[in-house]
Structure 1
Amino acid sequence: MTGVLRSAESADVATGQGRPRRAVVVWAVVGVLWLVVCGRALAGWVTSPEFSPAPVLGPDTLPGHSLVALRVLEVLSVTVLAICAWFLVVKPWRRGRLGLDAFLMLGGVFGFVADASLNLYTYLFAWNAHSVNLGVWGRWMPFHHPGAATRYAEALLWGLPMYVYFCAGLGYVGVRAAVALRRRFPHVSTASLLALLGVGDFVFDLVVENVIIRTTDAYAFARTQGGLTLWAGSQYQFPLYESVAVAFVSLAFTAVRLSAVDAPDGLSFIERGAEHLPRVLRLPARALAGVGFCAVVLVMLYHLPFNWLGITGDSMAHLPSYMLPG
């Protein structure tokens, strides 16, 4: 009997069973590192003379209807952010069930800091200086090129909310859709579900972003790959890889939430091993894991591909002066 038990224990070790998996620690460490990056960038920005609204350059003027639409976008974005915070953070917290949705939303908020990486080397993503802003912290981001623009209007009221509702928000909706589809088609595979949801995310982003940029002039894609761009050369040129990247980001958030739905203990793959930590560390570790996961997903699936394709792009947008860096 002893020999049998030892053989079983050896098999457990060989397969990784019986050994605590602490993926949550790895993701939490990434989260801590990202918070250090965020802290350094934001501290440098806030304490510098560049912590002020970007200049609105002339001679072009923003049409009145576009300015109204821009303000509506800002109000709607803040409203959606507040709704997400209520349903994903406040209500679960009041019930004592603070979980993955709250951590992913927190990750989206800190993930917004990575937005300044869009123009690390050259001006690829153009901002409307009429947006509510206090400049940008790009100069203090890692790998920022000394010659890259640092005086443009990183939008605060619509930019940050987008990192919540295009990430944690779409992930939440994606899981709801996945659960519904599983009930309707019980034999469908997870891969097929994610592929279908990815197509939906692509179409959603393609429509929503084009409506925003054409009605509000909130932003534009200054330099893109012409062969992969709709309306190339115009102010409203739109690179298709933008929607592809957003779809992959949304799918990553859907996948991590789906892994929690499928797990017997309700923990996602980034939270594995939290139960082996001291009780006082479990919630902070899971929250930091959410921040680390968001940072990796956003940088690897969106910002790096966007920069790689953009800096070699050959399609230059014809931009009004109020969308140029100061």
Structure 2
Amino acid sequence: MTSPTHPAPGAPAPRWGVTLPLPGLPLDRHRFVVERLPDLGYTDVWTAEGGGTDAFTPLAAAAAWSQDVRIATGIVPVQTRGPAVLAQTAATLAQLAPGRLLLGLGASVPAHVTDINGIPFDEPYKRTRDVLRFVTRALRGEYVSGDFDTFSITGYQLPHPPSDPVKVILGALRPGMLRLGFTEGDGAITNLLFPEDVPAVLDAVGPQPPGKELVVKVFVCPTEDTDFARRTARPFLAWILNREPYRRFHEWLGHGELLGPAHERWAAGDVAGAQRALPDEVVDALFVNGSPEECRERIRRYHRPGVTTIQLYVSLPPEVLASPPRLLDTLTRLGPAAS
């Protein structure tokens, strides 16, 4: 039997990426990080988009700061930009990083679509499917016209489509979206799951054609100050695990009873109670903490055959963020080069 802390024999080494900007560090102070990432064994710079930093600006900066890293969105909501704007933005970014762009699209959650943007969160699966179909065709340089289920296009063609293919993957939690990402896109990105849940995701994906991507995003707070790590993680986890897509995701994975008390407190309007109701073992598993070496070993549990990329969201203590040498040392000890 394969050790739970090491990938199966013969499993190709995954790519390792870091989500930027690092929480608490302004974007203009990331150049030294991006320039050093390849030396530390990291291959990718990833971004996310919700209510803070947009997904594309940090990647434009990263493309200018490094000619080596792959740049990737994980993810951009499909509801908050028009389909052609998404295609235009991706094509423009691909000019800065030819052959190095991966576009991650997803439905996101109503809090990021409706609550702060005033856009209805209607038919998220169909909208994601339609935007995926439009964007993949547009990025190939095709003329796209006609009716989709969730929008209509009078006629659009990129004047300068990317010369190198741009992979388009989907943020996916449950079987329908996972299968869509692999049948009509170039793969999927999943997150906020336990290492033991990865086989369920792989089973839902089924056989993976060559060249497809399965990205697993892991949240990590590399510190031995457990109290600090848990204080950092609890508000976020209580909030995100009570968004409907993530609640249903964990119900599908069989964790409904485990998370039930937190869901009940949240539904009653008791935010603080919902945070307290999250068991420590859930907090520590979904937002990995400990020494960088301990974190790295736990992160490695997510690598199974079929997982192509490990994407890290790294939350660092203030004293580490304030010291560039300590920051780089922590990323070194955390990452693949130290394995």
Fold match (TM-score > 0.5): no
Whose helix fraction is larger, Structure 1's or Structure 2's? 1
TM-score in terms of structure 1 length: 0.27
Structure with higher Rg: it is 1
Whose strand fraction is larger, Structure 1's or Structure 2's? 2
TM-score in terms of structure 2 length: 0.26
| Larger RCO, structure (CA 8 Å, separation 6 or more) | 1
